[in-house]
Structure 1
Amino acid sequence: MSAALLVLLTYILFFLVCLVRYTSYHLRVDLQIDSFYQIIFNLQMGMEGGEDVWKDAAIGFFNHYGPALAIMGILALFAFILCLKNGIEVFRLKREYRKLSLNQKKAHKAWLIGSLACTIGFASVLGITSLRELNRLGYFRYMELQNSDSNFYEANYVNPYDVNITFPVKKKNLVYIFMESMERSYSDPEHGGFYEGNLIPELTKLSLEKGEDFGDGKQLSGAVTTVSSTWTAAALVTQTTGSPLVYVDPHEGGNGYWDDSETPFLKNLKSLGNILQDNGYNNSFICGSLGTYAGRQNFFEQHGDYAFYDIETAREDGITPTKDYNVFWGMEDKYLFDYAKKIITQEAAKNEPFNVSMLTVDTHFPHGYLCEECPDPNSDPKFNGEQIKAVISCSDKQVSDFVDWIYQQPFGKDTVTVLVGDHANMSADLTAQMQGYGRQVYFTIINGPEYHGRVKKYSTLDMFPTTVAALGATIQGNRLGLGTNLYSNEFTLYESLGLSSLNEQIPAASDYYIHEILGMESSEQGDNGQPKGRK
């Protein structure tokens, strides 16, 4: 009987080995997660609104390991039956006080030793596999940084509460479009991109002819993304606060990352929304998915009192075809832009300055959402039959058409439009194709101040002060958070420290980050006066 149980345990261990290997593969390759911070942030936040991610992961797991699990299951079942049969026979003979023959003893012992050896072997494999995959996911580096000590934030972070910001009497409106996974890489080499067939001709033209991206005017420039700003929730925080979203356990650090409207989310951060609200702006945010996903609604409502619009309000407002409409992450971008036009028109009618920010979704990995307005992936050689490329091309036209609409409206002349990718595309196929290429997210400002300075190297941390300056505001010192106003002559942290150094120092343990940025109270410190969970 014990041998049969060992066989069952061995199969469970084999299943766990497969699960650990696939989980690591899925996170690193399919989801392109590049830091352990992102993993624990999403685990803490939950997956409301992103249930398809789990479904896709489960399907992928059984596609990868289903045959192996089936074969191993058949072998394990066969061994289990034989062991069980042998065990029952031994038990029966012992119960009848009959002696086991030498062959029976040898057979029983062989089954027991063999089963035990397999169990120990797979337990060892599980342990080794777990350690290896944790290392691949950056767990040990994460722990090393948690037990380090850094003064990076003390030396480089400029608290917006301490900065004098002066807006002009006549304020400009702001439309800020976070474009899902939009990169300058999608353009052609002639314009600084990667692909021979330009996937974003309209955005390329928009930036080089009408926009400002702080490049040389001949090729697209773009922003790099630092560690802890490489997924959407982190990108939204980074670009609007100049601070990356470094994870600290909310139960020990009190940062309110989880979806709880009564819990402060990064309560000490002063964001773009806060600054605009203080200067008489009405803030709105629009997305086509559930606002509660990854705490987005919580963050924007607490930092600038944004009116928040998502798939649920879109259904209520008659934007979607039906009241229960649901495709991809909620609704596709063509409805998002319809919704944005309605909201912007309403805001403009108030004759007060407005900030309408929005997040597109159709270009979300792995393949994007091919709406009815998108070209067939096989209709153009530059798509190479790949759906994601056709969707990128479709998004290029949709965004460009929307920008054209803005400047056809009466309020257009008084409106600044910021177009920026939230992070690099996480598609495993595109990542493999662009191996070795210096990827940057797309960025341009329409109808902002003229710029005649040097070519800049910058990150998404710099979006915060640059957006404020684009509205005509004067920033004392030209720095906010870890960001630098690109319209100024100041060097960005990317220029002065380099990307590698930034990525090393940003996630290092910092008392300043916990107290001054996250706003952890002194009562949440450990007995030694240090923050719990951090050195």
Structure 2
Amino acid sequence: MNEKNNHKKDIVILVVCIVLLFLGCLAFFSARWYITEFGDTGFDSILYTLFSEMSGTDSAVIRNFLLTALLPALAAFVLLTLFFWLRRGNGEKIYPFTKKRARIISLVLSCVMLFSAAVTVDLPGYLYYVSQQSTIYQEEYVDPLQAEITFPEQKRNLIYIFLESMENTYMSQDVGGALDRNTMPELTELVLDEENINFSHTDGIGGFHNMTGASWTIGAMVAHTAGIPLKVPIGVDRNEYGQDSFLPGVNTMTNVLQEAGYYQTLMVGSDANFGGRKPYFEQHGLDRTFDIFTAREAGIVPPGYFVFWGMEDMHLFDFAKQELTKIAAQEEPFAFTMLTVDTHRTNGYVCRKCVGLWGEQYENVISCSSKQVAEFIRWIKQQDFYENTTIIIAGDHVTMDEGYIDRNVAEDYERTVYNCIINSPVETAYEKNRQFVAADMFPTTLAALGCEIEGDRLGLGTNLFSGKPTLVEEMGLEEFDGELTKTSDYYTKNFFFKR
């Protein structure tokens, strides 16, 4: 009986060792893959990726994970398993390990790989912060529907263009970039135009810093439009996050403009459901969403068309022109938001408009995007609705293409996100030498429409047109980010669940 029990015990221990070894290998290679592919975006972004809707993901991302993370993990697991436990036909151990020693070494190795993976994605730092409670929302958050916001008598239209991964880094050093060449000259010219506004962290061309909870696209879109980070409260399951209910307790810019009588649309070239973008906007007052599927229906691309994340930006801009012409013919003021995709990591997508000016594919895609955005702006300026329309061009976050950054950008360069405001009825003396983040774009956008905001703060963001210090300027970026990383019962109770 004892011999039988010992045999069962050996099998259980062996299974545990093998499972832990596999998990260790998978975690080790997956962590390295994630950081290499997406950069240090924060553990919040990893949690969101794990628990959110993944439909519409570029197949290249999945293929890359399979080839550079899962396959090496499986190979390492098989080799290590054979190394520890392979025996000859007569039961003799091939390698000089006793059964006990093989177990101990495999368990230690598993723990080392799991710990290495945790350090790679900064799980210890994340756990340190989430073990603490933040009071930043109770002390600093301003609900936009509770704030006094006064619109001008003639409400202005808004066109908000999110540029995927567009940062100032791609400019030449003489104008504030990190390169010896300017790969985005047209976007540079836009911010150098004295009639336009570029809020900057320097006295020249600059922009805003990444903030915790806004280092990936939907997180950034939430920050830009709600003035808060996107966080995944611990213990919430997938079905409660994103599709069924997306931050139902938060009032956003879409809610504000809805109450002001705006007709609002979102246009993306991919699957709008990816990452919860469509649910987020539609659950907060959006009237209509356009994406790869509606582009097919409208004849912008053929039925079944799908490249990269959906369709190229050249088709997206054609679609935008078509729909803006229709939207502008309506009586209501409109807010049109769009998101480009060609400059998504890794290396971007080369469309037929791209010209090989540079040695790096990513730079050619950036240059192509710069040209297309500038052409789109020229088209808007020729339309009758332009006179009463404010245009905001902003990157969503700094690029996740860490390979490109490692090859081309000095470690001490301060990377910031691009922004340019065109045709604002409001001027400012506080444009330069600012420290700010995506959350500050929320009240700043409304101010650029001519709105007066009592207290000049909405969400956690500050109206940059005013002289009021941002929270980053008051606290410092590190302390501000630390507060956003901490656990907040207030956030979970008041934002994540419907009040």
2:225 aligned partner: 240
Of residues 55, 61, 67, the one that matches 2:63 is 55
Supply the distance in 1 between the matched residues of 2:156 and 2:133 (Cα, whole angstroms): 42
Unaligned runs of 5+ in 2: 1-6
Deviates more, 1:118-127 or 1:196-205: 118-127
8 Å contact kept, 1:9–1:119: no
Correspondence 1:35 to 2:11: no
Correspondence 1:230 to 2:230: no
Of residues 454, 461, 468, the one that matches 2:446 is 468
Q: CA deviation at 1:61?
A: 2.6
Q: CA deviation at 1:512?
A: 2.2
Supply the distance in 1 between the matched residues of 2:154 and 2:372 (Cα, whole angstroms): 30
Deviation digits for residues 374-414 of structure 1 (CA, Å, limit 9, x no counterpart): 012xxx3xx2x211111011000011110111001111111
8 Å contact kept, 2:198–2:205: yes
Supply the distance in 2 between the matched residues of 1:348 and 1:390 (Cα, whole angstroms): 33
Supply the distance in 2 between the matched residues of 1:190 and 1:498 (Cα, whole angstroms): 27
8 Å contact kept, 1:208–1:218: no
Supply the distance in 1 between the matched residues of 2:70 and 2:121 (Cα, whole angstroms): 21
Supply the distance in 2 between the matched residues of 1:81 and 1:509 (Cα, whole angstroms): 50
Q: CA deviation at 1:279?
A: 0.9
1:100 aligned partner: none
Q: TM-score, normalised by structure 2?
A: 0.90
Kindly report which structure 2 residues correspond to 1:245-324, keeping only aligned pairs within 5 A, or say none.
245-249=230-234, 251=236, 256-260=240-244, 263=245, 265-320=246-301, 322-324=302-304
Supply the distance in 2 between the matched residues of 1:515 and 1:195 (Cα, whole angstroms): 45
Kindly report which structure 2 residues correspond to 1:68-467, keeping only aligned pairs within 5 A, or say none.
80=86, 82=88, 85-87=89-91, 114-209=98-193, 210-215=195-200, 219-249=204-234, 251=236, 256-260=240-244, 263=245, 265-320=246-301, 322-376=302-356, 380=357, 383=358, 385-432=359-406, 433-434=408-409, 435-454=411-430, 455=432, 456-467=434-445
SS of structure 2 residue aligned to 1:160: coil
Supply the distance in 2 between the matched residues of 1:479 and 1:437 (Cα, whole angstroms): 30
Unaligned runs of 5+ in 1: 88-106, 522-535
Supply the distance in 2 between the matched residues of 1:199 and 1:188 (Cα, whole angstroms): 8
8 Å contact kept, 2:175–2:204: yes
Q: CA deviation at 1:508?
A: 1.2
The letter of the residue matching 2:182 is N
Q: CA deviation at 1:431?
A: 2.6
8 Å contact kept, 1:229–1:423: yes
Structure with larger Rg: 1
SS of structure 1 residue aligned to 2:418: strand
With over 3 angstroms needed to count, the CA separation of the structure-2 counterparts of 1:14 and 1:368, relative to structure 1, is same
8 Å contact kept, 1:172–1:415: yes
With over 3 angstroms needed to count, the CA separation of the structure-2 counterparts of 1:65 and 1:120, relative to structure 1, is same
8 Å contact kept, 1:514–1:520: no
The letter of the residue matching 2:49 is N
Q: CA deviation at 1:496?
A: 1.1
SS of structure 2 residue aligned to 1:47: coil
Of residues 478, 482, 489, the one that matches 1:500 is 478
8 Å contact kept, 2:242–2:280: no
Q: CA deviation at 1:120?
A: 2.7
8 Å contact kept, 1:4–1:80: no
Supply the distance in 1 between the matched residues of 2:297 and 2:415 (Cα, whole angstroms): 39
2:4 aligned partner: none
Q: CA deviation at 1:47?
A: 1.4
Deviates more, 1:466-475 or 1:423-432: 423-432
Supply the distance in 2 between the matched residues of 1:9 and 1:514 (Cα, whole angstroms): 36
Deviates more, 1:48-57 or 1:235-244: 48-57
SS of structure 1 residue aligned to 2:336: strand
Deviates more, 1:152-161 or 1:194-203: 152-161
With over 3 angstroms needed to count, the CA separation of the structure-2 counterparts of 1:76 and 1:7, relative to structure 1, is farther
Q: CA deviation at 1:10?
A: 7.2
Supply the distance in 2 between the matched residues of 1:131 and 1:520 (Cα, whole angstroms): 37
The letter of the residue matching 2:479 is S
Identity %: 36
The letter of the residue matching 1:221 is G
Q: CA deviation at 1:304?
A: 1.8
With over 3 angstroms needed to count, the CA separation of the structure-2 counterparts of 1:216 and 1:54, relative to structure 1, is closer
The letter of the residue matching 1:439 is R
The letter of the residue matching 1:48 is S
Supply the distance in 1 between the matched residues of 2:315 and 2:493 (Cα, whole angstroms): 41
Supply the distance in 1 between the matched residues of 2:457 and 2:68 (Cα, whole angstroms): 45
SS of structure 2 residue aligned to 1:162: coil
Supply the distance in 1 between the matched residues of 2:291 and 2:268 (Cα, whole angstroms): 5
The letter of the residue matching 1:235 is A
Q: TM-score, normalised by structure 1?
A: 0.84
With over 3 angstroms needed to count, the CA separation of the structure-2 counterparts of 1:11 and 1:251, relative to structure 1, is closer
Deviation digits for residues 72-122 of structure 1 (CA, Å, limit 9, x no counterpart): 68x659x7461xx114xxxxxxxxxxxxxxxxxxx57x8795354233312
SS of structure 2 residue aligned to 1:346: helix
